[in-house]
Amino acid sequence: MNSEKTPRALKSRLEQREIQILGTRACFSKNAVRRYLEPRSDTEYRLAFSADADRILNSLAYTRYSDKTQVFSLINNDHLTHRVLHVQMLSRVARTIGRYLGLNTDLIEAIAMGHDIGHTPFGHDGERFLSRLTQSAGAGHFHHNLQSMQFLDVIERKGKGWNLTLQTLDAIVCHNGEAHARTLTPASPRDFADLDTIVSQIRAGTMDDVLPMTMEGCVVRIADTVAYIGRDFEDAVRLKIVDRDQLPGTCRELFGATQGTIVFTLVTDLINSSIDQDFIGFSLGVADALKELKQFNYQFIYKNPLIKRHLTSVEDIFKCLFDRYMNDLAKENRASVIYSQFLNGMDDTYRSNHSHAEITRDFIAGMTDSFFIRQAPDHLRPTPIDWV
């Protein structure tokens, strides 16, 4: 084979191109670190973070994104945002920002695609319900960011995991779309031992929040809010839960009153405020207005009782299924779906390293909304709402 066309040579050309194109704050693909070496793999001639993105795209957990709640669930409307659309929007927004700032858009894409894979059925409400159950069963609080790493690093490929890079997993664990910050500065470099310690501390409740170690991770974390804040408002307007005129005056003046103008203003401000800086962030006025917009969404959308009317039955299903699968595992009921749909073919190390509560957590967290409902007894199944 021509030495200039060997896999190593082709990869070297791409790595050199990164050096020419990317800025000094970028995380270069040549610095990617995996948990274990791969003698021959898809990374032999491809850049590491690009391979990460493809591995996530081809994961079973990513496939299930398409039937997971973003905000609105059990409503008969085909134009509401599901989790997969939010992920795609975040990827686009974050890559746009990263491109202007000279960052590694392959890494940004991989982080964005994987950041919400650990979400339960029925979104943040489902996360709260499952967390109460796992805590009571001795498996600690449930955190969807930790569960994302659990799926990608441990469960996928029947317990082998995808061996994603440290940089991708670090940013997935450290994303937090709920937190509000004007600026984000990357943390100090870490290794896998550091990341595993962070995961253990978050799960134990001794650490609350931690920043990613790359600028790319910070971009995805801050762009997460940009991607959902306007879209959630747009969905609420479509359902007539809120009206555009309800937006606070400062928000309307700065952002306009549509998803498009909100995203455009936030992205433009982020880029202008972050160029040639050691942080990612907004200008002071835009940051304050964004905080006000988030408070508006929480008050009038996320906490609106109109969209919570089905939650009692959903919580009852979580309790029912958790107890059922715990009992099935205790009795080794091989006819149970937790065996046929989850544990069948799973690597032995997974079962030996996880308690019954952790296995049950992993199975339920991975369910789509519709699969979750299908497992429920008939009397607990909620009826989708014909929204007027």
Q: How many Å apart are CA 76 and CA 40, to the nearest integer? A: 48
Residue 43's pLDDT is what? 64
- What pLDDT, on a 0 to 100 scale, did the predictor assign at position 78? 87
- Please report how many Cα atoms fall inside a 13 Å half-sphere around the Cα of residue 12, on the Cβ side: 7
pLDDT tens digits along 234-246: 999 999 999 999 9
Tokens read off for 362: 């992993």
Return d(Cα 86, Cα 70) in angstroms, integer. 7
Q: What percent of the chain has pLDDT over 90?
A: 82
> How far apart are the C-alpha atoms of 169 and 343, rounded to whole Å?
24
What is the pLDDT averaged over residues 172-192? 92
pLDDT tens per residue across span 151-173: 999 999 999 999 999 999 999 99
CATH architecture entry for 59-307: Orthogonal Bundle (1.10)
Q: Where are the domains of the chain?
A: 1-20+40-47, 59-307, 311-380
263 vs 176, higher pLDDT:
263
Q: Given this model, what pLDDT does residue 41 score?
A: 64
Residue the block writes with tokens 């509000």: 180
Average pLDDT, the chain: 93
- 177 within 8 A of 112, measured Cβ to Cβ: no
State in Å, rounded, how far the first CA of the chain is from the last one. Answer: 66
Per-residue pLDDT tens over the stretch 112-146: 999 999 999 999 999 999 999 999 999 999 999 99
pTM, 2 dp: 0.95
The Cα–Cα gap between 16 and 174 comes to: 29
